[in-house]
Amino acid sequence: MAWNLLFTSDIGLLSLFTILFIIVMAIYIGIYAAKQANKEGSGTSAKPHQGAH
């Protein structure tokens, strides 16, 4: 019954879309963060971060 409600009702479809959107966004942010960490770790950053003086 829960699966039927998830795929057939308006609220269920909105919930499904939200869940899928969050999963895709988490994957994208994870890949982006990993790329930035690799770039920062290899010393190829254009401008080093400096603290406030």
The pLDDT, as a whole number, for residue 51 is 67
- Domain assignment present for residue 49? The answer is no
**Confidence band, pLDDT 50/70/90 cuts, at residue 53:** low
In a domain, 47, yes or no: no
**Domains identified in the chain, total number:** 1
Q: Is residue 13 part of a domain?
A: yes
Q: With H, G, I as helix, E, B as strand and everything else as coil, classify residue 47.
A: coil
- Domain membership of residue 22 as a residue range: 2-39
CA–CA separation, 51 vs 41, rounded Å?
Answer: 19
How far is the C-alpha of 48 from the C-alpha of 25, rounded, in Å? 28
Q: What is the pLDDT of residues 10-51, one digit of tens each?
A: 999 999 999 999 999 999 999 999 999 998 877 655 566 666
